[in-house]
Amino acid sequence: MTGKTLAVVLLLVLVAAIMLSPGTGCDVITRTGAGPQPDLSLVNEVWDIIHEDYVEPERLDADTLTRGAVRGMVDALDDPYSSYLEPEAYEASVSDLEGKFEGIGAYVGYRDGRIVIIAPIPDSPADRAGIRPGDVILGVDGETTMDMSLMDAVFRIRGPRGTSVILLVLHEGDTDPVDIEIIRAEIELESVLLEMKGDIAHVTVTNFTERTSSELATALQDMERQDAGGIVLDLRGNPGGMLTAVIEVASRFLEEGVVLFVVDNEGNREETSVRRMGPVVELPMVVLVNGFSASGSEVLAGALQDHDRAVVAGETTFGKGSVNVLHRLSDGSGVYLTVARWYTPDGRVIEGEGIEPDFPLDPEQEDLLEWALAYLRGDG
């Protein structure tokens, strides 16, 4: 993977096209003849039996059967972040991180065998319909999600603007699910939001897209003009996105050093370091996270924490630390595949563990933003 752009699939981020969102900013790779060659005699045997004996031969379509076999291989991995994409889904996923998409506007992930909402995009159809972080999606248009992969669910939920989708949703803390109808729309996502709280800049990064670095640069210039004395970097509900964008954001706050380590399927360890992006911001900083800060946001929080550049406050993060790559297949379809794991600069694993905050805070008991402002002003 040296020299290639690694990214999250956070299928999470793909869902921004419901979204999602692992994920995507993944590499788009075409491969031929890689890896050990399998004995395909059994596959050929079944292929011949089907074409010779199946009762409705007019229904047999070579492309459909081939794609079914490919889907079966990927499903056999039993990895929620590895998925087969039909050509239409592949094309949609490639364009997801341009910052504009059609869907309901929510990030989704996979937790404890269930498809859950990481966060609705503010003022999106999902947000206005009452979708909340932590919601479990039990069904889509009357079809259970029990046996769906994350990507299957995503591409059933997303769709053209003006069309509707009905989700069977179990809100966090409730016992009875409810049907929620959502009218899809075109959603243009702004990934960086700035609000001055007196002399403290509250910078929210909603996810990491192709535009995040330039949006952050603009926000930092605005902060400087307004004489900011500190920064609250808010990553709550951030599902991740493009790793290149994560590195560029980290490089705005770190003078030098490793941002993360990537360990591949052969145990090879590769470091990704700070890239010079212009003047480094040295203002005191608090990073806010919660249980729905995932993937790229965990990489960023972990890097700033390990380098003692910022304190991290809030809840333990989601724990999605796998690297996913999008492979383009010869027929226009694609495969998302988990290819590596991420580790923080100090070697902490993210997958399944998440980032532990320096200051654990219960958002039901305390206003995290107010806590961060008080901490930076010396009132905490």
CATH number at residue 222: 3.90.226.10
Enter the DSSP assignment of 260.
Answer: E
In a domain, 293, yes or no: yes
Residue 306 known to be catalytic: yes
Token pair listed for 225: 């003009």
In a domain, 123, yes or no: no
- Which of 83, 93, 191, 295 is catalytic? The answer is 295
CB proximity list for 76: less than 8 A, separation 6 or greater = none
In a domain, 297, yes or no: yes
Residue type at 332 in one-letter notation: G
Enter the DSSP assignment of 280.
Answer: P
pTM greater than 0.75 (yes/no): no
In a domain, 119, yes or no: no
Residue 295 known to be catalytic: yes
Query: Is the CB of residue 5 less than 8 Å from the CB of residue 27?
Result: yes
Query: What pLDDT does residue 277 have?
Result: 83
d(CA 127, CA 18): 12
CB proximity list for 175: less than 8 A, separation 6 or greater = none
In a domain, 214, yes or no: yes
- Closest C-alpha to 300, from 250, 236, 360: 250
In a domain, 232, yes or no: yes
Q: How many domains does the chain have?
A: 1
- Which of 152, 213, 234, 320 is catalytic? The answer is 320
* Backbone torsions φ then ψ of 249, nearest 5 degrees: -65, -45
- Which residue's structure tokens are 């990489």? 299
Residue 320 known to be catalytic: yes
In a domain, 141, yes or no: no
Q: Which long-range contacts (CB under 8 A, 24 or more apart) does 68-71 make?
A: 69/43, 70/329, 70/333, 70/335
User: How many Cβ atoms are within 10 Å of 331's Cβ, its own excluded?
Assistant: 13
Q: Which domain holds residue 237?
A: 192-375
Query: Is the CB of residue 264 less than 8 Å from the CB of residue 1?
Result: yes
d(CA 319, CA 181): 30
- Which of 124, 306, 322, 333 is catalytic? The answer is 306
Please list the pLDDT of the chain residue by residue as tens digits (380 residues): 333 222 222 333 333 223 333 333 333 333 434 556 667 888 889 889 998 988 998 999 988 888 888 889 888 998 878 888 888 777 766 655 455 678 898 988 888 888 999 888 888 999 999 999 899 999 999 999 988 888 788 888 988 899 999 999 999 889 999 999 999 998 877 889 999 999 999 999 998 988 899 999 999 999 999 999 999 999 998 988 888 999 999 999 999 999 999 999 889 999 999 998 888 999 999 999 999 899 999 999 999 999 999 999 999 999 999 888 888 898 888 898 888 999 999 999 999 999 999 999 999 899 999 999 999 999 75
- Closest C-alpha to 116, from 172, 162, 68, 156: 172
In a domain, 95, yes or no: no
